[in-house]
Each structure stands twice: as structure tokens, then as C-alpha cells.
Structure 1
Amino acid sequence: MSFQASQSTTSWRPAQNQDFRKGIAGLGLSAPSMGGFFDKDRTLPMYKDKPFAPRRTAPRRWRKPLGILGIFTLILLWYFYYSPGLPAWKGADSSDRGLELWKWAQSLESAPAKGPADWDARREKVRDAFIVSWEGYEKEAWGYDEYHPVSGGNRNMVKGGMGWIIVDSLDTMILMNLTSQVRHARQWISTSLQYNQDHDVSTFETTIRMLGGLLSANYLSTKYPTLAPLTDDDVGEAGEDLYIEKATDLADRLLGAFESPTGIPYASVNLNKSEGLQSHSDGGASSTAEATSLQLEFKYLAKLTGEPEYWNVVEKVMEVADGQRPEDGLVPIYINPQEGVFHGNNIRLGSRGDSYYEYLIKQYLQTSEQEHIYKEMWDESLKGIRKHLLAFSKNAQLLVLGERPSGLEGSLSPKMDHLVCFMPGTIALGATGGKSLSEARESSKWSQQREEEILISKELMKTCWATYKTNPTGLAGEISHFILDSPPVMMADKYPIPSLSSKPKELPSISLPLTTQDDGLEPWRKDIEIHRMDRHNLLRPETIESIFYMYRITGDEMYREWGWEMFKSFVQHTSVVEEKQSKLSPGDVGTISRIKGFTSLDDALTIPAKKRDNMESFWMAETLKYFYLLFSDRDFISLEDHVFNTEAHPLPRFKPTGDLKTGWERKPAHTS
């Protein structure tokens, strides 16, 4: 498919001229004096039609020494700022944050600090953790898709790499105002990133991480030009063209995944051939969550470029999925791209099911609440979740969001993946539309049903927090199981559906408090089981994501404190510490410890925690981003003006116009 911009949109177009000023601004040197030194590793092409600034003439006797000095200065600048693999923090950010972070982590074992919380200082600690993570990646794995911080190893997923960690982390660096790090990443994207690999990649992961990352970087660099400002293009421009050009190239290649008989995307796609590939397992079926969680990215790209095909292909997916009118809005976790029908009966909001529901409400919010069909689908699914999946634990009445592996007629499995913990925040987001709870309650549209949604979000948030709080490390395992009554006490059985006509009133908490005592025999702890194979922690973001939403919406400082406790646990137990010999004083050589990065855990239930050797890209793209936003002002990247894709890449809300519309109607529903 060829790419053409609409006449009303030109933000994607490359700059007509290029002023190559990076690293030499203010030195009084013009580009010709470089003698082509930067041609190979320059950040962007040096356009030939850009006139160079006039050379500043020095007295003849000083010209040669000044020229030598200028060249030497430029070499140093290139070495410290642009040489691939060198830490971008050399120069402006030269303090050893790894050492300082390690010292701070050691101090956490002493008595907790007293007095009011300094949220700005706490946010800076998160920023420090990001910089340390990024520095380790720059030093040991620059350009590679995988980073193994314990061994210092690295690996690409496909030949040449996909920019997995760099692109996924890019908008976090912009939000944190890390200019030199963004510059280094942008240089690599310009000179090394390509999407013509003759290899299959995940349609879903490539869309949410790579396409979402590029689109978000494009948006943030233009909407917030004072964050990590770069001057790579024309004067006054933020240099957004690089990101959108890469994004459209990638999107055009991803379109091949949608060329199935039904329009349901194949699980994988060969980017070189733009050819979709069926899954090698599950009878060739695609994951339902993956097929239906591409919409935010492609719809925003359609709005940005004026190209309706990006919109239409992902809208077709939703029409086919909803056309089966799943019972009570709950969908099986597989869908077949050949026949366009759901595969199997397994219903869950964990892996392969989760973001289907997330993108229902977020598509509605992304389009400025214009596409009402998605709000209808969301409300229907939420009622189905309430009816079939929400139950109470036996001892503390923790609210549990379980699974139905054999369909809605089968038994409830009291199992919650960590992935399910995106749901508390998403429910609260759907209830208020991103507004503060106090403001939403003033609306004439506020109802008792919305009050119950807030209660559900609070109770599920407490359950997710309990899976962290119950473990010695303060970090959750990958999967938690819960002890229920037999038969389980379902929310639908215990609480009637709220009346729409009654006057809304706040509902009291249901579960017991998460109190602690010396013997560790609190009722809520007895309700949680973590099986041996489920003890690993992958630095996942879902719980802190929901805590972020809950704080932004309710304004309750308790959620910020929960987030702070969680962040400290990550620093204490997932950090990778290196020791080096250092000269402490004249004649005195000792060992200095510093944190060089963070890694996943094999076991979050033991101290010291058993470490894996892998840092997933979502650690920097999502987990640390949500911590940073949690400790920031509420209006910074506001929920009223943005939606976050399922990889935490913020995109703007907009009003769809012209050909950008749903264009289909729902079939009659199946209910039980």
C-alpha cells in the first residue's frame, strides 16, 4: 500500500531542509569544516539544499591552530555523545547514579523516614532507576533487542534487530526530560532501525511496542517540545518527521497480517514480504486479546496521516469479533483468522484475553466518546464479569477476578494472572472517563452503577496489592490462586444489580483491612496461594498501572504510598549490583558497590530473591513510566486528554471525521 497524507495533515512530512547543528551549535563552526567526518553516523541526513552558515574568519596566523582545535573538539563531542554503545550520560549527567542508588537502597533497611512525603524527590528516584537501567543497556547491549544485565549479555530477536528496547523506552525518556538519552536513541533510530527483516515477528507485540512507541514519541515531541528538546530539523521544529516516517513504514508492512479470509489478523507477520503467518499452535488461531488490541495504534495513525485503510482494517476485526455476539460480552481467548470464529471455551482476563476488554473502553475514550458502540460493548462485558467471574475469598472477602476454563457453564477457577491487575484502573477509568471522581460525581449522568464500578475497582486494587504485600520481597508472583468457599460466593449472588433510578451513594468497603501482625496469620494471607511454578516476577507493570489510575481518579494518597512501597521493593530485590576496586584515598584501595541495572526474579518469595538474567523492555517502557507519572502532578499527561495503549504509550484523544468511523452495527445479543 502506498502512503499518502491528507491535504489537511502535513505533520508527517520530512523537513525540506536540514541544518546539521547537533554538537556544533555555539562553536562558531560551519558544517563544511567537518570535512564529512560525521557523514556515516550523523543523526539525520544532511540535506544538500540547506544553505550553510557563513564561515567565521579568524586572523590568518591563528586559522590553522583554530582549525585543528575545532576538529579535535568535534571529535571529542562525537566520541562522548554519538559513538554507538557509549553512555549518553557522559558529560551533562556524569554522576554515578548507580552508586547513589545502591547507597539509598541500603538505607531502606533502617527505620522509615518520618514527615510528609516529598513526591518530587521520590519521582527523581524513579528517574534515577531509569537512567541506571538505560546506562546498563547502553554499555552492554546497545542496539540489541534483549538485555541480560546479570551476565552482561545481549541478543537480537531477528537479524539486525527490531529496536525493541530503544523504541519501547523512547517516550519514557521524553517524559522524564532526558535529552541526551533521547538524542542517542534518535541517532540509532535514524541510522540503524529498519523493518525489512525476512523473518516473522509477533503482529501484536510489534504493534503495541514498536508502532505505539514511535507514534507516542512523535506526539510527545510535537505536543511538548520543551520535554527533551532536540533541534534536528528546521529552526523551531521538534524533528517529528523521523518517528512518523518509521511508523508508517512499519504499519504498511504490518498490514499484511490482516490479509486473512476474514480480516482477523494472523498471529505473526513477515515484515519483508508483508505477509501474515498463522500460529503454529492452537489450530492456527490467533489470541483474541492480540487481534483486538491493535486498534488504538492504527486508528491514531489513520487520524495523523489521513489514510483510512489503517482505520478500516482494525475496525473490521472488531466487527467480526462482536458479530458472534459472545454471551454476556465475555469472549473466548482464541479466534481463528480463517473462519473468523472463536476457538475453544476458555474465558479469562489474564493472558490472551486481557486487552480485548481494555481496548473496548479505550477506543471509546480515544475518539472523544464519539464511538458509542464501544462504550456499549464495555458496559456489557463489565456486567458479564460481575455476573460470572467476580467472587469473594473465604476468610477476608477479597474480591477475586477468576477464570472459566470450560466456558460460562463450567466451574470458576480462583486464579489471577498478574496481567489481570490492569483491570482495577481500567474499570475506574471507564467509570469516570478519566475525570477525577469528585468531578464525575457532579455529573447528571453519574449513577449507582458507576458507584459500584468504583467499589469494584477499589476492591480489586486491594486484592492485587495483597499479592505483593503477602510476599517477603514485597513483590508479587506471576500467578496467584485464592481460597474460596465451596461453592464460591459470587458477587452476583451477594449483591443485587444497582438500580439505575436510585440516588447514587458511595458504597462501603467489603473486604477486611490488610493489617499485619507478628505471627503472619492474618485472614487475608490465608486466602492467597502462590504455587511453586508461579513464583517468578518479570518486572511487570499491571499493578502499578492500576495504582496510577486509582490515584489520578480518586485522589487518595494511599495509592501513592502503595506505589512507593512497591518501588522500594523493586530497587531492593531486583537490582543487579556490581563491585569494583576503587581508590578510596591515597594508598587506600577498596571495593565499591553500585547498581548497574534491574532484572526479573525466579522467586519473589525468598530473600535474597533468586534472580533471572533478563530485563524485559516493559520495565522501562511501562513499569518505571507509571511510577514516574504516579509521583508527578495530576495534570502531567492528563487522563482527560490522553489514552495509554496497552504498552503504556500515551496517545492523544481526538474526534474522528470523514471516513474514520465505526461503519457497522451490532447483531442481537446472546444472554444467559
Structure 2
Amino acid sequence: MGLRSHEQLVVCVGVMFLLTVCITAFFFLPSGGTDLYFREENSVHVRDIYVREELRRKEQDALRRKAEEANPIPIPKPEIGAADDTEGRRIFVKQMIKFAWDGYRKYAWGENELRPNSLSGHSSSIFGYGKTGATIIDAIDTLFIVGLKEEYKEAREWIAQFNFKESAKGDLSVFETNIRFTGGLLSAYALTGDKMFLEKAEDVATLLLPAFDTPSGIPYSLIDLQTGRAKTYSWASGKAILSEYGSIQLEFDYLSNLTGNPVFAQKADKIRDVLTEMEKPEGLYPIYLSMDNPPRWGQHLFSMGAMADSWYEYLLKQWISTGKRDKRTKREYEEAIFAMEKRMLFKSEQSNLWYFAKMNGNRVEHSFEHLACFSGGMVVLHAMNEENSTISDHYLTLGKEIGHTCHESYARSATGIGPESFQFTSSIEAKTERRQDSYYILRPEVVETWFYLWRATKDEKYRQWAWDHVQNLEKYAKGTAGYSGIRNVYDERPEQDDVQQSFLFAELFKYLFLIFSEDDVLPLDQWVFNTEAHPFRIRH
């Protein structure tokens, strides 16, 4: 009997223990039988990548709901227009611009850029560490062009009170300051005739002049506006970069012509004179140039993409901007493009996709950057301005092929958006397997090429490709209060990088709006775009 009582007691205690464990698990363990994680010092350590992504999405959704409840953005989500509704598509793009602008105005006014999900300001190193309103100045011409009158007015009022020197702090990129700030202000003046913009543009460009005080006249890459001290990037081993010192002339020459102050054009002409006199290896321009006098080419790296791209663009556009009077620039552009076609233009094995490869000496890297996709639009613009019909037809064909290749890089991803860079090998074509190349930061270059192809050919597929991109931006890049880059275009549910780049307004939105507009909106025989898509009037 005593033994049975003892056994009963043991059984009762065991049952109570099991009940206690079950109850504890019910109340304190996470819901979802497949979630594998543990808690340590109030941090959730996720073992399974899919669980981590699910948690991240839940947190992002919660943040979005909280933001909408506390600070609702007064922009209704527009209905996507019918497949053949060009006006509806244009209106939709305009509403995208307003949504992104209102988010910036509400959460990051005066900051350089917006974090659309964190609902705060953002600034990359190219702007130093001051608040210089890069988005306001980069966006104002687009606001004017699309007819957002109140938004344009508030941007104009902010710029009128803005003092660039007082606001800028730390080392600024000379190149980025020139194309975004000087270029954006010059464009606003060209569109409106408002002299305030011209005065501000001259103020900004004047602050950059100490960067040109070098033995050869090749400018430094960085400048501290408070001290006037300038320098090159430490990672560039004291050398200047082709796309940066080579993308000055369009803005500086235009500014001198508008103001009558010759100093800006003189600085740009000095750079051109130096490069004209230098011998080019096999007709190609290396990326790096020493700061010596006379300067010397650095390592023989050649590219149509990063650190080279806008140099070729500006050779062509400077010729166009002068009413085709600058014969030297046209000749040097043609020589450069001929050399690149001869040495760097390839076709893929599988689908005959055309692309400009990279070169390191004689070693070829069969990759093509999103940045380099601008080249399709560049050669189409050349074709549209070329009197020789054989040459024109050749470059129109090249532009079509590049536009097709870049579209393939979009079509072959899970999001319908192309990566930062993609490769061509025997096993891969117009895609990348490199995680570090799979991101998208709202770059405009592919749509830019489609815009020029639409203007030149009127082939409806270019408008359709642009509309596909609009829909994919809405699906994958739209955040709480604006648009964000995405970290992996091959992920069906990509993570956003939470940065709304200022060039979203200056370039991508502008090209999307124009591709659904009539040709009399910024006709290409009257306007030329700088590399940030800021339009300047062509001199006739």
C-alpha cells in the first residue's frame, strides 16, 4: 500500500511537471511551428535564413503601418493605366514623383536624401557631411517639367534662401557637385529664365575653382569648401579619374556663355587641351591620370562604365551643345568610339547580345555594367545628329543592340530589374552570380537608352519596356514614404536598401515621364542633357 502511494505520488508529480512545461511553451515560445530561433540577452538570433526574412518583412510591415497611422502621406496610390493608355501612364509617373517628393519633404526636408522606410534623412560621402538639399536641387527641373507647380514653388523658395558654402561641410565630390548642383541650377534657369538660379549656379561653380589649381589644370576629386583645400581620393593613389575630370565642360562652358565670365570655360578648355595632346594607347583613354605636369596615364584600365562613362558622353554632347561648331570635340568623340568598338565591343555566344567589355591591359573581362547601358542612348543620339547616313545607320543599330542587351539583363531577373553588373561566359549570359553585383539603386541608364531609342524609332516596345519598369518599381522599390533601391534583383521578395537617391528625380523619373510624352516636350534638337539628365539649351 505504501509502495502504491509512493508510485501515485511520483506519477502525479510527473504529470504536473509535464503540464507546467506545456503551459510554459504555450505562452512563451514563438508562434509558428517552423520558426527556429532562440533568445539571448533580449536579441533574436535566427538560424534559418527564410525565418529571418519573414521576421524582417513583418518588422517592415509594422513600421509601415505605424508610419501611415501616425503621419499619413496624403497621396492616394494611383491606379495603373490601361496597356495602351499613354496619357494615363504619364500621369501615373507624375503621381510617383509626387509621392516620392512628399515623403522627402515630410521626413527629410533640407537633407541630401531620404530613407523612405526609416523616415529620416540620408547622405552619402559624396556630399560631405553637411545638409545641402541635394534632392531639392536635383529635382527642381523635373518638378517644373512635369507641372508640379506647388512643389516647384516650395523648392524654389528653399533654394533662394540656401547658402551652399555655409551648409557644405567636409570633403565634397567636385564631379558630383558639378553635375547635380551646378547642373541642376543651370537647368532650372534654362527652363524658367529665373536669374536667381543662374546666380546660385555661379556661386557653386566658383566655390569649386580651387580644385583646379594644380600644375596641369587637371582638377582634384575632392574639395572642402570651408577651407578651399582639395585632394584626390586616397584609394585612387593620388590619381584623377577620367569620368570626373572629363565631365566638367558641359556645365562650365554653358555657365560662361550665360554669365559672360570666361573663367569657367577656360578651366574646362585646359583639361581638354591636356587630353588632346596626350598619346592614347591604341586610341583608348585609361581610367586613371596622374596629377603631374605633364600628367601621365596610370594603369591601362579601360571601361565604358564606372569611372569612364560620362567622358565619352560629354565629348558628344559638347559638340551638340555648341550647335555642332566644336569640330575638335566631334573628331575626338568619333576616334574614341571607333577604338572602343574595335577593341572592346563583343557579342555573346548564346544569344548574340552586344556589349562593351572591360579591359586591363590586353586582358578582357566579359562583363557589362548598368552604368554602361547609357552608351546605347549615346550612340543613338550620335545617329540622330549625324549627316552621313551610313554612319548614322551604323550607330542606330548599335544603340538598338545595346538597348536589347540591357533589357535582357532586366528580363532575366526575378524582379524584372537589372543588376549593377552582369557577365557573359559560356555558362551565363546577361546575368550575374556574384552577390556583390546583384543590387539595384534606382539607376536610370537603361531607361535613358530606351528614351533615346523611342525618340529615334517610335518603336512601341521601348515604351512598353519603360512601363514594365514602372510596374516593377511599384512592386519592389516602393517603400513607406518613397522609393528605395533593392539588395538583390534575383530575390522574388527583395530586401530594400532604404535609400531614395537624389538622381531618382533628376534622371529616372524624368526619363520615364518623357518617354510617355510628346516629342515637343524638351525636343532633342533644342535641348541637350547633362549626365545627371539636367537639360541645357543648345546654342544655335
Task: Give the alignment's TM-score, normalised by structure 2.
Answer: 0.83
Partner in structure 2 of residue 255 of structure 1 = 209
Query: Are 1:268 and 2:225 matched, yes or no?
Result: no
Q: Which amino acid aligns with 1:343?
A: G
What do the CA deviations read for 1:491-522 (whole angstroms, capped 9, x no partner)?
Answer: xxxxxxxxxxxxxxxxxxxxxxxxxxxxxxxx
Alignment of 1:70-89 (within 5 A): none
Distance, in Å, in 2 between the alignment partners of 1:448 and 1:530 is 39
Q: Which amino acid aligns with 1:163?
A: G
What do the CA deviations read for 1:346-371 (whole angstroms, capped 9, x no partner)?
Answer: 00011101111100100100100000
Alpha carbons of 1:533 and 1:395: their partners in 2 closer, same or farther (altered >3 Å)?
A: same
Work out whether residues 130 and 169 of structure 2, in 8 Å CA contact, stay in contact via their aligned partners in 1. no
Query: Are 1:135 and 2:89 matched, yes or no?
Result: no
Partner in structure 1 of residue 76 of structure 2 = 99
Distance, in Å, in 1 between the alignment partners of 2:110 and 2:502 is 13
Work out whether residues 328 and 380 of structure 1, in 8 Å CA contact, stay in contact via their aligned partners in 2. no
Work out whether residues 484 and 497 of structure 2, in 8 Å CA contact, stay in contact via their aligned partners in 1. yes
Work out whether residues 485 and 496 of structure 2, in 8 Å CA contact, stay in contact via their aligned partners in 1. yes
Query: Are 1:296 and 2:250 matched, yes or no?
Result: yes
Partner in structure 1 of residue 414 of structure 2 = 472
Give 1:563's match in structure 2, choosing from 459, 462, 466. 466
Work out whether residues 642 and 650 of structure 1, in 8 Å CA contact, stay in contact via their aligned partners in 2. yes
Shift of 1:394: 1.0
Shift of 1:272: 2.6
Partner in structure 2 of residue 72 of structure 1 = none
Partner in structure 2 of residue 377 of structure 1 = 332
Alpha carbons of 1:168 and 1:526: their partners in 2 closer, same or farther (altered >3 Å)?
A: closer
Work out whether residues 432 and 438 of structure 2, in 8 Å CA contact, stay in contact via their aligned partners in 1. no
Partner in structure 2 of residue 186 of structure 1 = 156
Partner in structure 1 of residue 170 of structure 2 = 199
Work out whether residues 395 and 527 of structure 1, in 8 Å CA contact, stay in contact via their aligned partners in 2. no
The number of aligned residues is: 464
Work out whether residues 253 and 272 of structure 1, in 8 Å CA contact, stay in contact via their aligned partners in 2. no
Structure 1 unaligned spans of 5+: 1-94, 223-239, 434-439, 486-524, 578-595, 656-672
Partner in structure 2 of residue 617 of structure 1 = 502
Distance, in Å, in 1 between the alignment partners of 2:521 and 2:165 is 33
| Secondary structure at 1:120 match in 2 | helix
Shift of 1:275: 3.5
| Secondary structure at 1:601 match in 2 | coil
Alignment of 1:222-233 (within 5 A): 222=193
What do the CA deviations read for 1:395-445 (whole angstroms, capped 9, x no partner)?
Answer: 11111210102x2xx122111110000000100101222xxxxxx7xxxx4
Distance, in Å, in 1 between the alignment partners of 2:381 and 2:423 is 26
Q: Which amino acid aligns with 2:486?
A: L
Percent identity over the alignment is 32
What do the CA deviations read for 1:622-663 (whole angstroms, capped 9, x no partner)?
Answer: 1000000110001210111111000000001115xxxxxxxx
Partner in structure 2 of residue 457 of structure 1 = 399
Shift of 1:186: 1.5
Distance, in Å, in 2 between the alignment partners of 1:98 and 1:569 is 19
Alpha carbons of 1:337 and 1:526: their partners in 2 closer, same or farther (altered >3 Å)?
A: closer
Work out whether residues 329 and 377 of structure 1, in 8 Å CA contact, stay in contact via their aligned partners in 2. no
Q: Which amino acid aligns with 1:213?
A: G
Distance, in Å, in 2 between the alignment partners of 1:372 and 1:471 is 43
Alpha carbons of 1:155 and 1:566: their partners in 2 closer, same or farther (altered >3 Å)?
A: closer
Distance, in Å, in 1 between the alignment partners of 2:241 and 2:430 is 31
Partner in structure 2 of residue 667 of structure 1 = none
Partner in structure 1 of residue 533 of structure 2 = 648
Shift of 1:607: 1.5
Partner in structure 1 of residue 493 of structure 2 = 608
Query: Are 1:549 and 2:520 matched, yes or no?
Result: no
Alpha carbons of 1:355 and 1:160: their partners in 2 closer, same or farther (altered >3 Å)?
A: closer
Partner in structure 2 of residue 342 of structure 1 = 297
Shift of 1:484: 5.2
Q: Which amino acid aligns with 1:417?
A: E
Distance, in Å, in 2 between the alignment partners of 1:567 and 1:305 is 39
Alpha carbons of 1:527 and 1:132: their partners in 2 closer, same or farther (altered >3 Å)?
A: closer
Following TM superposition, the consecutive aligned residue runs of length 4 or more in structure 1 with deviations greater than 3 angstroms are 95-99, 155-160, 525-530
Partner in structure 2 of residue 427 of structure 1 = 379
Q: What is the root-mean-square deviation in Å for CA atoms of aligned residues?
A: 1.8
Partner in structure 1 of residue 60 of structure 2 = none
Work out whether residues 146 and 155 of structure 1, in 8 Å CA contact, stay in contact via their aligned partners in 2. yes
Distance, in Å, in 2 between the alignment partners of 1:470 and 1:624 is 23
Shift of 1:308: 1.1
Work out whether residues 321 and 341 of structure 1, in 8 Å CA contact, stay in contact via their aligned partners in 2. no
Q: Which amino acid aligns with 1:480?
A: F
Distance, in Å, in 2 between the alignment partners of 1:530 and 1:641 is 43
Alignment of 1:304-323 (within 5 A): 304-323=258-277
Distance, in Å, in 2 between the alignment partners of 1:422 and 1:210 is 21
Shift of 1:97: 6.5
Shift of 1:310: 0.8
Structure 2 unaligned spans of 5+: 1-71
Partner in structure 1 of residue 198 of structure 2 = 244
Q: Which amino acid aligns with 1:118?
A: D
Q: Which amino acid aligns with 1:200?
A: D
Shift of 1:328: 4.1
Partner in structure 2 of residue 151 of structure 1 = 118
Partner in structure 2 of residue 572 of structure 1 = 475
